[in-house]
Structure 1
Amino acid sequence: MFQLAVCAEMVFRDLPFAQRVRKIAELGFHVEIWDWTRHDLAELQQTGATFSSMTGYIEGDLITESGAQRLVETAEQSIEAARRLRCPRLNLHGTGLDSQGLPVKPTSSVTGPMWLAAARTLTRMAELGRRAEVVFCLENLNTAVDHPGVPFANAADTLALVKAVDSPHLRLNLDLYHAQIGEGNLIELVRSALPFIGEIQVADVPGRCEPGTGEINYPAIARALSQAGYRGTVAMEAWASGDDELALQRFRDAFSI
């Protein structure tokens, strides 16, 4: 039904990173990673895991001329890393984030010219994706808890930008954890965004742990996705509330239709 994936940065944290990746793969999941520059790509290749998504840039932003140029340059480097891992999707954010997930250049408000600049930059990214035969996915974030100061953070913002660019090489990474904090109304959100979704990420609220530990009715969301015809990746980007394998099983159970 859905292709399930798990973010390796957030589970089995007592293991070296390559062993985490191997463990996730052994349990039957695809693997997602964040900043690829922190890892030994040759070692990750040797795990035999299937990688479904990774961060698609090192530095840069959507709205300044220098930031956009840096975004494109480091995206080109990321594409080469993705080729080594045979990873089809590369993740983007509304601006560059530091190691704590905070914006390198916080933005208090977004102006009309910023929107136009972001659309131009994302058009460049989509063209880069077309040439490289990969898909860049623009992720929504929340500004209330995890990422204050990030522009174009809400799912409504990312959806508007993806629609404006209108390319199969720029899609949404629709993160339902962030969307619940920022907007809610998740089932209607996934239905309206469905034609533009590249993948879906999940965690529960509050706490950002596996499905079933908070307020989100993920089995209902899974049914809505299935009924709407979604057959793509659903990735758990969440901490384990306790035992890691149990957390992954709860995730699998929530999305088993």
Structure 2
Amino acid sequence: MATIRFQYLASLKFTNYLGTVNTMKRRKFVRNSILAGGSVVYSSNALSSKPNSQKRSPMNITATNFKLKYAPHFGMFKHHAGEDLLDQLTFMKEAGFNALEDNGMPRRDPAVQNKIGQKLEALDIEMGVFVASATFKDVTFAGDDESAKEAVIKDIKNSIEIAKRCHAKWMTVVPGMYSTKIPWDYQTANCIELLKRCSEILEPHNLTMVLEPLNAYTNHPGLFLTKIPQAYMICEAVDSPSCKILNDLYHQQITEGNLIPNIDRAWAQIAYFQMGDNPGRKEPTTGEINYKNIFKHIHKKGFTGIMGMEHGNSQPGKAGELAVIEAYKKSDDF
């Protein structure tokens, strides 16, 4: 790992720039800190308030030509790129990542959403999912409560403007908890009915909600949607291009395993993947899932969508960020 880290750090360089003496001193400090393996302190602001923040010349590294479209999230490379979100996007691109996902996009100020969207467009990075509607405590899609359904509809309508600002095509939907008072098949019918209403709203905008089954053992007990076959049945019944499956391979390894056969059976309804290794929910190669074989299988099937990196880093600091990049290079080498 030390050899890999040395080679990777040695490849870092700064591009030519025109700036003030203070800017040059700052960059020299950052460069020396990186080469020494030290920590660099950045502003905690999501987007820098400095007038010249977007004129800074970012670190250039040799990009990896990944076969699939892996999407990091904000914070994954902050020890190299700093706290500024736009600088993080630049670092992702220079590392070879051509997509981003940001579950928390709806909580960002609309002006920030616009800036992120503009930066994504400038860097030719594709926007992945953000969370449009999710609850881990209430019965929503599966229940009979009309007020809960209207709250979901409101979330979906609000997500249209968010998607426009950041150029998103997909949004995550978690259909809430199951009811202990309603027979299961009625709950399924309720879920399908509400998803049809949501789809009618999204279809004119060419937007797609992706339903995410989550495991009930380690992370989310009590949820209505937990398995890929269940999600497949529901999407088949809704029968809309705006209602598809988000197959999070971390969750499905815990819930049911049999990952590749379930990918094949549900393929027509899968629009998006996420991953994290198990146990631990860290980058590929840190657990029991053979991501190299899975990525090869998905690539062979012609998937051109986004593979969301919804996991943590197994190691802290810059070393951990380099380990993430190396894990994806290794898993993508097929």
TM-score, normalised via structure 1 length: 0.87
Q: Could you tell me which residue of structure 1 aligns to residue 69 of structure 2?
A: 3
Q: Could you tell me which residue of structure 2 aligns to residue 53 of structure 1?
A: 129
Q: Could you tell me which residue of structure 2 aligns to residue 180 of structure 1?
A: 253
Letter in 1 for 2:100: V
Q: Structure 1's 17 and 55: CA in aligned 2 closer, same or farther, altered over 3 A?
A: farther
Q: Structure 1's 26 and 71: CA in aligned 2 closer, same or farther, altered over 3 A?
A: farther
Which structure has the higher relative contact order (CA within 8 Å, separation 6+)? 1
How far does residue 233 in structure 1 lie from its aligned partner after superposition?
Answer: 1.5
SS of aligned partner of 2:303: coil
Contact 1:94 1:153 in 2 (8 A): no
Q: For residues 183 and 175 of structure 2, what CA distance do their matches in structure 1 show?
A: 11
Q: Structure 1's 168 and 36: CA in aligned 2 closer, same or farther, altered over 3 A?
A: same
| Structure 2 unaligned blocks of 5 or more | 1-66
How far does residue 110 in structure 1 lie from its aligned partner after superposition?
Answer: 6.2
Match of 2:104 among 35, 49, 53: 35
RMSD over aligned CA atoms reads 2.2
Q: What are the Cα deviations for residues 191-240 of structure 1, in whole angstroms up to 9, with x where unaligned?
A: 11111111111110000000000000011111221232322221111101
How far does residue 156 in structure 1 lie from its aligned partner after superposition?
Answer: 1.9
Q: For residues 204 and 229 of structure 1, what CA distance do their matches in structure 2 show?
A: 23
Contact 1:58 1:74 in 2 (8 A): no
Q: What are the Cα deviations for residues 67-122 of structure 1, in whole angstroms up to 9, with x where unaligned?
A: 22111111111111110001110110121xxxxxxxxx564586111100000011
1:62 aligns with 2:141: yes
Contact 2:141 2:175 in 1 (8 A): yes
Contact 1:62 1:117 in 2 (8 A): yes
Matched ranges for 1:121-200 at <5 A: 121-200=194-273
Q: Structure 1's 131 and 256: CA in aligned 2 closer, same or farther, altered over 3 A?
A: farther
TM-score, normalised via structure 2 length: 0.68
How far does residue 3 in structure 1 lie from its aligned partner after superposition?
Answer: 1.8
1:206 aligns with 2:274: no
Letter in 1 for 2:130: M
How far does residue 17 in structure 1 lie from its aligned partner after superposition?
Answer: 6.3
Contact 2:229 2:266 in 1 (8 A): no
Q: Which has the larger radius of gyration?
A: 2
Letter in 1 for 2:308: A
> Percent identity of the aligned residues?
26
Q: For residues 94 and 111 of structure 2, what CA distance do their matches in structure 1 show?
A: 19
How far does residue 53 in structure 1 lie from its aligned partner after superposition?
Answer: 1.4
Q: Structure 1's 188 and 110: CA in aligned 2 closer, same or farther, altered over 3 A?
A: farther
Q: For residues 183 and 140 of structure 1, what CA distance do their matches in structure 2 show?
A: 11
Paired residue total: 247
